[in-house]
Amino acid sequence: MIEGAAVVTVDAPEPNISATGTEYAEGHVVIEDGRISAVGPGAAPPQPGAVRRVDGSGCLVTPGLVNTHHHLYQWATRGYAVDATLFGWLTELYPVWAGIDEELTGSAAAAGLGWTALSGCTTVADHHYVFPDTGGDVLGGVVSGAERIGVRLHAVRGSMDRGQSAGGLPPDSAVEDTESALRGTEDAIRRFHDPAFDSRVRVAVGPCSPFSVSGELMRSSAELARRHGVRLHTHLAETIDELERCDREFGCDPVEYAERLGWLGEDVWLAHGVHLSERDVARLGETGTGVAHCPSSNGRLGAGTAPVRPLLDHNAPVGLGIDGVASNESGRLGDELRQALLLGRARYGPDALSVRDALWMGTRGGARCLGREDELGSLEPGKLADIALWDLDGLGHAGIGDPVAALALGPLPKLRGLLCGGETIVADSRLTRESERDLTAELRRSCSSIAAKGVG
């Protein structure tokens, strides 16, 4: 049991400019068998049996953060095309990514997940869409990386079947044919998808984007996902270039194109959603389609920023994402709370988002995007014990009266602890399952090996 900390439960199903749920200036959280059994003010009620007590004084307890969009393999390709647009950046990186293999995805995933766990993240959706012929089991590498760190993984089995010879953006060497992509996706569901309440690995279906995937693969992927009862994810409406390309090729905007292909619905969440018309925003709300808002990546590539306030007002699920770290070299989900807040206010004014809205998107909103609102994303009895214990007692935060403002506006606090399913995976800002020194050495080898292949 954790006692003596400020507790922010994020138990409101919808965010509100002034509140996102029940809060206790000093409260407790009790954990039993990997789940939360009690939350409330003051000291915890007496518990039977042996109890481990954690003194949370000076700390803030929140749900573990949920990252709704990542590309973990890119942890080994940070720092390329640093001043490019999305399409320029992709064109430089596709040939580099064509050299990835199972060893690289494993080490990059462990390093990236370790790093994001240190920023308070307990659940990560990884969108992996590069499957070179000679790469081996690249998705298996990502899954093993998650097991090494102890976070929950949503492994989005991505795909691309539209190389340059078919009018797409990636080189032909980086894409699969449509049949292989569908077969590989079905195989990933069979091997890794666990639908259980406390699942550590779930699979979603994720053709990469309209400019790298055929309409046929988009449509067939949606059918496949619905046949297996898994979720759907893709990139959409990220840049003006994409809008213009979509209009030229299909005579509509990306959201209209997605709808034609069966890609709006409560089982879909989309990365970015930056360039949306008022009609698009309303349509996403009506259909319950989620948006993974990636403010740092959108800033890094100069893409713009998503209409978060209008999306929330239309009750569309909005979560936060790091996006690939090749376009977000920071890679810390905790930082995205602040970034979302600043960009949202810069675009829509000072009352566009509250600090609590930012926390809601980083927790409960993310859980909604991933279809796990019943299991995680808030501190409520019966939910999984995915919990962050932020240390607000240091130089960076002491004296800030509102702990949520300290978290969302201040520097990202250190973690006194991070629990996933009741297991401590970060203690006193250190990973418990792996040594950072070993992860760093592995990462350095992977970065050198992919850079050498790129030069060759």
| Of 355, 353, 373, residue with least CA distance to 364 | 373
Q: How far is the CB of 83 from Zn ion (least distance, A)?
A: 19
CA atoms of 180 and 176, how far apart (whole Å): 6
CA atoms of 398 and 229, how far apart (whole Å): 47
- Decide whether 268 or 415 has the Cβ nearer to Zn ion: 268
- Decide whether 214 or 296 has the Cβ nearer to Zn ion: 296
Q: How far is the CB of 235 from Zn ion (least distance, A)?
A: 5
351-384 residues labelled b (16+ CB within 10 A) or e (exposed): ebbbbbbbbbbbbbbbbbbbbbbebbbbbbeebb
DSSP codes, 148-173:
HHT-EEEEEEEE----GGGT-SS-GG
> x-or-dash pattern for Zn ion, window 218-257, by CB under 5 A?
----------------------------------------
Binding segment for Zn ion among 47-55, 311-319, 323-331, 406-414 (CB under 5 A)? Answer: 323-331
> x-or-dash pattern for Zn ion, window 258-277, by CB under 5 A?
-------------x------
Q: Which residues make Cβ contacts (< 8 Å) with residue 341, sequence separation at least 6? A: 353, 355, 357, 358, 408, 409
Q: How far is the CB of 206 from Zn ion (least distance, A)?
A: 10
- Decide whether 5 or 125 has the Cβ nearer to Zn ion: 125
Q: How far is the CB of 422 from Zn ion (least distance, A)?
A: 31
Collapsed DSSP state (helix, strand, coil) of residue 376? coil
- Decide whether 29 or 326 has the Cβ nearer to Zn ion: 326
Q: Which residues make Cβ contacts (< 8 Å) with residue 352, sequence separation at least 6? A: 308, 309, 344, 345
Binding segment for Zn ion among 118-126, 172-180, 318-326, 353-361 (CB under 5 A)? Answer: 318-326
- Decide whether 271 or 388 has the Cβ nearer to Zn ion: 271
CA atoms of 305 and 296, how far apart (whole Å): 9
CA atoms of 151 and 242, how far apart (whole Å): 33
**Residue number of the CB atom closest to Zn ion:** 323
Compute CA 243 distance to the chain's CA centroid, rounded to the nearest angstrom. Answer: 24
Neighbours of 80 (CB within 10 A): 16
Q: Which residues make Cβ contacts (< 8 Å) with residue 246, sequence separation at least 6? A: 210, 252, 253, 254, 257
Q: How far is the CB of 456 from Zn ion (least distance, A)?
A: 27
- Decide whether 242 or 323 has the Cβ nearer to Zn ion: 323
Q: How far is the CB of 69 from Zn ion (least distance, A)?
A: 6
Collapsed DSSP state (helix, strand, coil) of residue 29? strand
Q: How far is the CB of 323 from Zn ion (least distance, A)?
A: 4
Which one of 101, 242, 253, 323 is in contact with Zn ion (CB under 5 A)?
Answer: 323
Tell me, by CB under 5 A, how many residues bind Zn ion.
2
Q: How far is the CB of 210 from Zn ion (least distance, A)?
A: 13
- Decide whether 30 or 125 has the Cβ nearer to Zn ion: 125
Binding segment for Zn ion among 54-62, 320-328, 338-346, 406-414 (CB under 5 A)? Answer: 320-328
Q: What are the structure tokens assigned to 401, written together?
A: 């009266």
> x-or-dash pattern for Zn ion, window 277-316, by CB under 5 A?
----------------------------------------
Residues that bind Zn ion (CB under 5 A): 271, 323
